[in-house]
Amino acid sequence: MTLRFQDAGRELDGYVVVDSLLGGWCSGGLRYAPNVTPTMLAQLSRLMSLKYAIMEIPMGGAKAGLIARPGHDRLAVIERFGQLIEPLLRTGFMVGEDVGTGGDDVLHIFDSIDLDPLALVVEKARDRQVHIEIPPGLTAHDLMTPEFEGRVAGFGVVETLSAAAAMSGRDLAGLRVALQGFGSVGRATAERLVEVGATVVAVADVNGTLYSRDGLDVAALVGASDPAGSLDRAKLSERYERLAPPAWSEVSSEVLIPAAVEGALDASSVQRVHPDVRFLIEAANAPVQPDIERELEARDVLVVPDFVASAGAAAAFGVLMTGQAELENVWGEYTGRMAARTHAVLSSAAESGASAREAAIALAQQYIERRADEERAGEWRVRAR
């Protein structure tokens, strides 16, 4: 379902695309960019459906988008869009952040229409005979900070890498990792990699790639980064090699983690991927096309597709929103799922000869169909784990 919303007075042109509904819910981010199209949003909303389904969360996928125009009063346009889609927000569409928006923008939408998203979650759960208890004093503002969401997503990325490495008889300690993107997800992923003993040897931002065979100082990189993920080279060691942006995948590493934009690897750049690479962990939406994934898999690279590896934030908030976890155990619940579902995807691919993406889509579709059958039969109460 594609809905278009316009306000000529503000030159507002936006969409909400709903791919699926499960349990009366759908969720997805709000993208604010000049290249937003209904086709793009349809693809992204499908990815959201797959993220929830592969993690076995009864939540449908959706995506919202606003076309950014020169001279826009950005916040006013976002606020007005929130007012236009208010009926959707009050009945089952949970909007989040995406490219061009952050947690503050989402919170501004909720505040402007006087809607408490946590209260809505409790109400929707009650309709499904599920009890969710919100700790006293906790608000949506506590959960929608870039730091918190980035950390949730980053931990999930590393969990999928850990599961993939274990299937290859490898440990995370000592693995050499190259990252593309150093925004909230990239930063949190890098910090977690250091905590588990991996070595981050390359990081790329819009200005180029920083590389050190002996490893980059991640704490220094974090200190030199801005919220958008750009790195101030003047604050960093001169011993780091300064390379072109595409070089992140060409330097010697065993793990590639694209954590920024679509099209991180294409038909040309994939030919220059370093032969040491054994894992591709897709921490962004659509960073690699399926034909590129298959080419890498033919070189014995284990691929964890985007809607698996980048599902951390969706999984964490999803298990909370559906009553499958409570706040005190959400961390263990969603990270456990990230690892288990990665193992299931890669095992299925190995047994069937399918690509990892094909195996993951098949598993996700099985869950969607099973949940839809249960809902049609009236068996739609979520059982907490």
List pLDDT tens digits, range 57-67: 988 999 999 99
Instruction: Enumerate residues 6+ apart whose C-beta is below 8 A from 131.
Output: 125, 323
Answer whether 0.85 is exceeded by the pTM: yes
pLDDT band at 383 (very low <50, low <70, confident <90, very high): very low
Mean pLDDT of 71-87: 92
Per-residue pLDDT tens over the stretch 158-207? 999 999 999 999 999 989 999 999 988 899 999 999 999 999 999 999 89
CATH code for residues 148-368: 3.40.50.720
The whole-number pLDDT of residue 361 equals 95
Per-residue pLDDT tens over the stretch 255-293? 999 998 778 888 888 999 999 999 999 998 889 999 999
Helix/strand/coil for 113: coil
Residue 318's alpha-carbon distances to 55, 138, 187, 295, 315, in angstroms, are 9, 17, 23, 33, 5
Name the nearest CA neighbour of 310 among 340, 279, 342: 342
DSSP class of residue 31 equals: E
Distance, CA of 331 to chain centre: 16
Length of the chain: 385
Q: How far apart are CA 79 and CA 218, in angstroms?
A: 36
Structure-block tokens of residue 62: 């959706």
Residue 329's alpha-carbon distances to 275, 309, 313, 325, 334, in angstroms, are 40, 21, 15, 6, 9
The correct answer on CATH 3.40.50.10860 for the domain covering 2-145 is yes
Q: What residue ranges of the chain are covered by domains with CATH 3.40.50.720?
A: 148-368
